[in-house]
Every structure is written in structure tokens, then in C-alpha cells.
Chains A and B, each alone.
Chain A
Amino acid sequence: MSEIVKFTIDGKEYEGVKGQLLVEVAAEKGIYIPVLCHWKGVKPAGSCRICSVKVNGRFMAGCTTPLEADMKIENDTPEILDIRKAIVEMLFVEGNHFCPSCEKSGNCDLQALGYRYQMMVPRFPYEFERRDIDASSPKLIIEKNRCIFCKRCVRMIKDEQGKSYFAFKGRGKHLQISLDKKLAVTMSEENAHKAMDACPVGCILRKEVGFAVPIGKRKYDHVSIGTDIEKLNK
């Protein structure tokens, strides 16, 4: 039996199922806590920290923290919003993002968060890290310049034996996402599709279909990210 507990978000009282992840509880109440690495149903990684909230005065990742009774959650405060904006800026300066010619533009969660938090110029210096493109597999292009290391692909895209197609290589500054060359050869259409959809940015791309969706019909052309959740509250 699930236990119902009381909690507050930004001072407003709610009830929810104990143990449920904060990002998901909030979403049910029509409150948007942004996520990049999180994917419902997949083991949380807590790696991007864009979902940072304050719980009883302490910073926690909303995607890894289960709900408990009497939690006082802060979400929509100037302090938290600025931290999220800073994280978005960090992700931008760490990779090489040239949105104008990126086919994920308009469908990209990172770009959409940049708009949502009104990022103009990042407060951090650009890294200009040199990363290459891996175009050697038949169905996918891996544009490593755009990877934000959310690990969704590693966690989600597996073959029948449960082996991951994707893995991280290198360490620290030189960490890179890589696609297993041998496995990639036999990757199914379905998995290729899933991989591209799982990637929140324009790093994993299906070959030869770029720009097929016209401007105006892309995910974030008319609504900003999070509005689908927030409209439950209206």
C-alpha cells in the first residue's frame, strides 16, 4: 500500500505518494522541475543537476530524491532559477553548440532551457574542446561536440542481451560518448530511432533525415519547454 504524505512546494501544500521521485510528483501537480538526464522509468542518474531544488533548506537533485512526509521543497525561487541558468550555461560552454545549423534546433531540450532561462551570454568562458564526429556507423551520426553527458543513451539503448550500444570513454575533460562500432552495424531501425529520441540534444542523429520537420512544426517552436506540465496547473 502506498503511503500518502503531505509536503509543500514553494509554500503551497500538496499530498503525494511517499517514495515517488520529486520531479515526477511535481509534474503530477502541474509544477515543472526541468530535467535533462532523467527519463521516466529509467534508473535515475542525477548527473546533470538541472533539477536542483532545495529540500528543507538543502540542495538536492529532484530526479533522485524520493518524496517524504513534510518536505519543504523550494523550486521557483530566484536563487534556484539562477543556479539552473548557470548549469545551462555550463553545458553550453563545455561543448561546441552552433544552434543555427544544428538539426536538433527547435527540438532540443538544452536549447529550450536556454530560452526558458533567458540565457544571453554565458558567465563562464568557452572551453572550445576539440571533439570529432563519429559518422562511421550505418544509421547514426554521433556529433560529440553537442553531448551533455546525460548518459540517457548508455542507460536506455541496449541490444537483446542487454548490452549497451553506448559508453563513455576517457576521463575528466576528455570524457567522450562513444558508440560501439561492432554493435552499431547490426543496430535495428527501432533502436536507432529510440537513441535519437532519447538524446536531449543534437548529439545522436539519424542519418539523412535532418531538417525534415519544417520550422513551425518543431517541438518548441510555439511553446516553451515545461508548458505541457504547467498547463495542468492552469
Chain B
Amino acid sequence: MQKVTIEPVTRVEGHGKVTIQLDDNMNVTQTRLHVVEFRGFERFVQGRPYWEAPVLVQRLCGICPVSHHLAAAKALDVIVGAGTGHGLTATGEKMRRLMHYGQMFQSHALHFFHLSSPDFLLGYDADPAIRNVIGVALNFPDLAVQGVMMRKYGQEIIERTAGKKVHGTGAIPGGINKNLSIEERDYLLHGADPLNIKKMVEWADSALQFFKGYYMKNRDFVDNFAYFPSNHLSLVRKDGALDLYHGVLRAVDTDGNRILNDVDYQEYNKYIEEEVRSWSYMKFPYLKHLGKEKGWYRVGPLARLNTCDFIPSPMAQKEFEIYKAHTNGKPNNYCLHTHWARLIELLHSAEVIQDLLNDPDLQKNDLVVKGTKGNEGVGLIEAPRGTLFHHYRINKDDQIEMANLIVSTTNNNEPMNQSVNFVAKKMMNGQKEITEPMKNAVEIAIRAYDPCLSCATHALGKMPLDIKLVGANGEVIDHYKS
């Protein structure tokens, strides 16, 4: 038996390594994406006053802290008796939505322009020395500027809703601590070019059209890169619309049959179980009633566009129809179509932001509601990378006594392993050494999920790449390190 190890993976947030096990004929028998960091946020929030959670736990991540901030706040809404989702005041809910869609916008823009566009623009097989954001900046300066400005715009929204661009304090149990002043609103609506919503909608649309153009030319590659059937899970609005902030839990199988039918997420642990495997700090969640083998699912943009029935904004809905037609309305299982789905969400986020900025509720002063206090609450949100679960229980003195977090990348743990497996079998069967294209293929498969491995183990770090090819008796045959 031979073993190939790839670690750590580049242009992915966090740290992980890949091992590819070969048999004596150099055929792939098993692949594993190991996540070797451990941070233990669930443990160290214990004993903290509950209202600290949204501010403390968001420090899991510097990329999408807003998702953690809001998921925690949503769980605490339940604890302070403000109900879930729609229990808040209009200003409370809409300010949080604005924060969230602002974050979605900046994160998706970051992913597309900085992390995945080098592959599209410069070619998957281009020299890694130029196949990065610097290469994009040199060869496509206009696009690079767009990426930077879209990210900036999203962060400007976050600053005006959360108080700071990173790690703010806006969402508090039962609501929000500020509204959006007229000046703040006008800055975001009508700021000098390009930092205004009109330009952002335009650019989001052009990024999407760019991807579609690329896709038309490289259809074979994109479709066949990593295709495998799976279940898909996300929140959807009660009427089946795409909703990234709040909804019910829905899962569909690879043919589109409902396997989780719009259930209340307060009871998520009735439906979802997490498996621990000795070789990774990242757990493996699955749908209980389907079991470990059949119950795993994907989350994120691809999954969301598979579970929802429609997108409640006109431009994105039109694009959604084109996208759905590609798979005849059935769930899409093409791994690299995640990028397509992500860009549709980018456009949708811009449209939602535009609507919210025009909503006078954001200037009202009724910010917080509280009701009968309970001791336990669950908050779910669709983070950029997929469904994020926060669950807290407090003691009679208002201290957190239990916390459980299932982050998006953990939900995607099995799918990422499956993708790596698919690609490894295709590229590495019969190979004795790790070539550049092989390494890239594995990375691309992982990166499609935009994984944040530090979050997933509640660990800190960046993710570079290292591959090890290990023989039947454990000897290293080839070793690549970036």
C-alpha cells in the first residue's frame, strides 16, 4: 500500500492536510482530509456571561465573523424570550439582515476575485507563481480593482451595522444596538463611484456573466471536474425562498426528494448527529434517520440553490432559472458549479442590500425586545460557506454552561473528503509521484467549498499545502511542500 499526503492546502482559510492511500498497484484506495488543529471555543465559553457569546465566539474567524456573531445572537434571542427570526423589531431584524448580506457580499466577492478567479482567469494549469491574486492584479487590473472594492463595500456595511469592519458588537440578545443613520444610509446608497449600491449590483452581475462566459468555453472541464451525488441541506424561508438569515431546515437528496421537510431548527439535534473520527479534529455530521453512510450532506451555495424553490429578488431569480435549467430543475451535483451558485448569491445579496437601504425601518429606534427568559437556544444562519449552527444552554446565574457549534465547513467535511476522493482516483491512480496538476486538482476540489478549516475545528491559522506519498510499509515515496 502507498500513501500520498497533501498538506497544507493553499488559498483556503485554515490548515489541513490530505492523505491519499495507494495499494500495491498504485491505485487509490482511500483519501482523507485531516484537520489537525484544535481550538476548543465550545469549552472556553463555558462560564462566560451569555451576552458575551456573540462578541467572543466570532473570534473563531477573521473571514466571516459576522456569521458567528449573528448565529450566537439568534440563539440568545431564544434565551431572552425574543423568539426566533421574526420575533425581533423590524429595525432589529433588518439591521441584522443588512449586516449579514453585507458580509455575504464581501465574503463571496473575496472568494471569487481573490481565491478562485486566478484559476479561471489564468488557467488551472498555469504556473502557481502567477496563478494567484497578484497574477490577476497584473493581468486583469480592472477585475482586481473590482474585487477589492466589492469587498470594501461589504465591509463598509458591516462597519455601519456592527460598529467595526471586523469583530463588531452590533447584534445583542433580542436585537441590535444601533440603527442606520440617514448619513450612513446615503453613504451606502449614493457614495462616490464605485462605492455605491448601484455599482455593486452592476459589478456583481458582471462577475456572474464573466463566470458564465468562462463556463461556456470550458464546460467539459467544469462539469467533469468533480461530480458526485449527495444530499444537500440549508435553511429556506417558510415559503421555500432562498433566505440567508433565517428559515426552516430543509434537505433534499440527489434527485431532489425532501429528506428533511422544513423543520424547526430549535430541534436540530433530533435530526442531525455528529460523528467523531480518530484521524481528524473535524467532526462528520449526518442526518440521523439516514445513518452515517447515507445521511451526509453538502451545505453552501450549491446546496442552497438545490434546496430553495426560488430566489426572492428579480435579477438573481432570472439567473437562478438559467442555472436550474442546466440540470433540468434537479439538484446540481457538479462541484465546480458552486462558483456559479456563489455568484448568483453575490448578485442576490447586492439586490437585498439595495432593498434594505431603501427601507425606512432601518432609521427607527425600537431596537431590542425581550420576553420570558429560557435557558436554552439554537441559532442557525446561512454563512457564506453554508449552514452554521450555534447552540447554548445557560445556568440560573446567566453563565453559559454548554455550547455546541457546527460550522459550515464541518457540515461539508464528508463532501470535501468525497471530492478529494473523486479527484484522487481520477488523477492519481497508477502514479508514483505527485505532479503539479495532481496537486492543483486536489486543491481545487477542496477550494470549491471555500472551506474555513480554522473555524471548523475552532482553530486558528492559514492553510498552505504539503503532499506526502507514503508506501505500503509507511515509507515516504514522494513529498511535496509549498
| A positions within 8 Å CB-CB of B | 100-101, 103, 132-133, 135-136, 141, 205, 207-217
Top 8 A-B pairs, shortest CB-CB distance? A215-B163, A135-B397, A101-B56, A214-B178, A210-B51, A214-B177, A211-B169, A101-B55
**Distance in angstroms between the alpha carbons of A135 and B173 in the assembled complex:** 18
14 A-B contact pairs sorted by A residue (CB < 8 Å)? A100-B56, A101-B52, A101-B56, A103-B55, A135-B49, A136-B397, A205-B49, A211-B169, A211-B177, A213-B177, A215-B163, A215-B169, A216-B178, A217-B178
Q: Check B405 for interface membership: any CB of A closer than 8 A.
A: no
Interface SS of A by simple majority? loop
Question: Does A207 contact B49, Cβ atoms closer than 8 Å?
Answer: yes
Complex formed: what's the CA distance from A136 to B397 in Å? 6
Cα–Cα distance between A100 and B167 once the two chains are bound (Å): 8
User: CB within 8 Å of A: which of B160-177?
Assistant: 162-164, 167-170, 172-173, 177
CA distance A213 to B54 in the complex (A): 15
Known A-B contacts: A101-B56, A103-B52, A133-B49. Give 11 more (CB < 8 A): A101-B48, A135-B397, A135-B399, A141-B49, A210-B51, A210-B172, A211-B55, A214-B178, A215-B168, A215-B169, A217-B178
Q: Nearest residue in B to A136 (C-beta to C-beta)?
A: B397
Residues of B within 8 A of A207 (CB): 49, 398
Could you say which of B80, B164, B178 has the most chain A C-beta atoms within 10 Å of its C-beta?
B178
**Closest chain A residue, CB of each to CB of B373:** A208
Q: Which residues of A contact B51 (CB under 8 A)?
A: 103, 208-211
Q: Cβ of A101 and Cβ of B177 under 8 Å apart? A: no
Interface residues of B in 1-60 (CB under 8 A from A): 47-49, 51-52, 54-56, 59
**Residue pair A211, B172 in contact (C-beta under 8 Å):** yes
Chain B residues lying within 8 Å of A212, measured Cβ to Cβ, are: 172, 177, 368
Q: How far is the CA of A217 from the CA of B178 in the complex (A)?
A: 10
Q: Shortest CB–CB separation between residue B381 and chain A, in angstroms?
A: 19
Kindly count the residue-residue contacts between A and B in the assembled complex, taking CB atoms under 8 Å apart.
59
Closest to B164 in A: A215
CA distance A217 to B164 in the complex (A): 12
Q: Which residues of B are interface residues toward A (Cβ below 8 A)? A: 47-49, 51-52, 54-56, 59, 80, 162-164, 167-170, 172-173, 177-178, 368, 397-399
Q: Are A210 and B52 in contact (CB under 8 A)?
A: yes
Residue of A nearest to B47 (CB): A133
Q: Point out the residues of chain B lying under 8 angstroms from A133, CB to CB.
A: 47-49, 399
Q: Nearest CB to that of B170 among chain A residues?
A: A214
> Which residue, A101, A216, A217, has most C-beta atoms of chain B within 10 A?
A101
Q: Assess the A214–B163 pair: CB atoms within 8 A.
A: yes
Residue of B nearest to A133 (CB): B47
Return chain A residues, CB-CB under 8 Å to B172: 210-212
Residue of B nearest to A217 (CB): B178
Q: How far, in Å, is A152 (CB) from chain B's closest CB?
A: 21
CA A213 to CA B169, docked complex, whole Å: 9
A210 to B54, CA, bound (A): 11
Nearest chain A residue, comparing its CB with the CB of B175:
A212
B49 (CB) vs chain A CBs: closest residue? A141
Q: How far is the CB of B452 from chain A (nearest CB, A)?
A: 19
Instruction: Please name all residues of chain A whose beta carbon is closer than 8 Å to the beta carbon of B54 when the two chains form the complex.
Output: 211
Q: Which of the listed residues A132, A207, A208, A217 has the most CB atoms from chain B within 10 Å of its own CB? A: A208
Contacts of A135 in B (CB 8 A): 49, 397-399
Chain A residues lying within 8 Å of B52, measured Cβ to Cβ, are 101, 103, 210
Query: Contacts A210-B172, A215-B163, A215-B164 known; A101 to B59 CB distance under 8 Å?
Result: yes
Closest to A215 in B: B163
- Give, as a whole number of angstroms, the nearest-CB distance from A63 to chain B: 32
Residues of A within 8 A of B59 (CB): 100-101
Most chain B beta-carbon contacts within 10 A, residue among A103, A207, A211, A213: A211
Q: How far is the CA of A232 from the CA of B162 in the complex (A)?
A: 34
In the assembled complex, how far is the CB of residue A195 from the closest CB belonging to chain B, in whole angstroms? Answer: 16
Residues of A within 8 A of B47 (CB): 132-133
Give Cα distance in the complex from A100 to B163, angstroms.
Answer: 13
Give CA–CA (A141, B54) in the complex, Å.
18
Give the interface centre of B48, B49, B59, B398 by most chain A CB atoms within 10 Å.
Answer: B49
The contact of A210 among B49, B164, B397, B399, by CB within 8 Å, is B49
A residues in contact with B55, CB < 8 Å = 100-101, 103, 211
CA distance A149 to B171 in the complex (A): 32
Which B residues are CB-close (under 8 A) to A217?
178
CB neighbours (8 Å) of B168 from chain A are: 215
Q: How far is the CB of A212 from chain B (nearest CB, A)?
A: 6
Query: How far apart sit A213 and B178, CA to CA, in the bound complex (Å)?
Result: 8
B363 to chain A, nearest CB (A): 15
Q: How far is the CA of A217 from the CA of B181 in the complex (A)?
A: 13
CB of B163 within 8 A of CB of A216, answer yes
**Bound-complex Cα distance A56 to B20 (A):** 76
Measured between beta carbons, the chain A residues less than 8 angstroms from B399 are 133, 135
Bound complex: CA of A207 vs CA of B368, how far in Å? Answer: 16
CA distance A214 to B159 in the complex (A): 11
Q: List chain A residues, Cβ under 8 A from B177.
A: 211-214
